Amino acid sequence: MDLRNLDDATFAEIEAAFDEYGVIVFRDQFLTPAEQVAFSRRFGPLDHFPYGLFNMADHPEIVILSNILQEGKPIGMNDAGRYWHSDMWTLDQPPRGSMLCAIEVPVEDKIALGDTYFASSTHAFDTLPHELKARVASLHGVFSTARYKKFVGHEKPDNVYLKEIVKAAAEQPDSEVTHPLVRKHPRTGKTCLFIVEGVIRTILELENAEANDLLDTLLAHTVRPEVTYRHRWRVGDVVMWDNYSAMHRAIGDFELPLRRLMHRTTLSASEMESSHDATTG
């Protein structure tokens, strides 16, 4: 299909597939930034990426993910998402989902690099042993940006990308936010695990050692190779993921002169969360 020209019935099919599968892939779309923003807006309001540094000047709804340097300066975030996560977990209300358009894909010996892995947080919850489901459903994790920086190595910036990102991050004081480890999807009612690799400092209801063991168990269960999808990118791809029902991780197995350029839009959860509140009181 052509995402630039969709009637309402076809769009409704896409949205239903997005709700059902959590990750959807469209090949050969080649969207311009304006077309990407227009298609993204059909899902509702958009969130801007919090650090303004790499938001596109004339389309600030798009954040640029790239390893490309222009005059020695990065044009985008180079190391985005190289850990199992759902997006923008630092916010009280993380987004509904994200859309990534592949503009340039690194290729070596005819093989595309820079794949992205996906895992289903819904399947992860559904396949937990019964007692663990009940236990996890009452717990709350403390998600910490200081933990994140340590986990991804930002406290030891050794390259130009990290220097820029650390500069931007330094302007934002470290913060913590508490999220339930299990959340209901406001549109589908599906139950989703809400964990992020390496950033949950503790679980409010547990001692630290027990919390760490539990988080390791939950992550290992969620990202078992037999239940992950590995997306091998082609220029022109549009991939969307639901931030409640899917986790993802970029593998980042390439370096300049191989170039990667992706444009990401972020779908806000505000509308679906408020209509969920209205229906559930």
The contact set with ligand SIN (CB under 6 A) reads 65, 80-81, 87, 98, 116, 248, 250, 262, 264
* Contact yes or no for 112/232 (Cβ under 8 A): yes
CA 82 to chain centre: 10
Helix, strand, coil tally for the chain in percent (to 5): 30, 25, 40
Shortest Cβ distance from residue 85 to ligand SIN (Å)? 7
Nearest CB to ligand SIN, comparing residues 87 and 197: 87
CB of 41 to ligand SIN, least distance (A): 19
CA angle 193, 199, 200 (to 5 degrees): 60
Q: Which is nearer to ligand SIN, 65 or 181 (CB)?
A: 65
196 vs 203 by CB, closer to ligand SIN: 196
Indicate the residue whose CB is closest to ligand SIN: 81
Q: How far is the CB of 34 from ligand SIN (least distance, A)?
A: 21
27 or 134: CB nearest ligand SIN? 27
First to last CA, the chain: 38
Query: Identity (one letter) of the amino acid at 232?
Result: R
Nearer to ligand SIN, 81 or 106 (CB): 81
Closer CB to ligand SIN, 77 or 128, in the complex: 77
Closest separation between CB of residue 250 and ligand SIN, Å? 3
In angstroms, give the least distance from the CB of 255 to ligand SIN. 15
Question: In whole angstroms, how close is the CB of 56 to ligand SIN at the nearest point?
Answer: 15
Rounded to a whole number of angstroms, the minimum distance from the CB of residue 239 to ligand SIN is 8
Residue 147 sits at φ, ψ, to 5 deg, of: -60, -45
Residue 44: other Cβ atoms inside 10 A: 14
DSSP, residue by residue, 126-149: HTS-HHHHHHHTT-EEEEEHHHHH
Taking the least distance from each CB to ligand SIN, the nearer of 59 and 133 is 59
Amino acid at 162: L
CA separation (Å) from 81 to 53, 65, 85, 165, 214?
Answer: 16, 10, 7, 13, 22
Report the candidate in 16, 24, 38, 42 with the shortest Cα–Cα distance to residue 237: 24
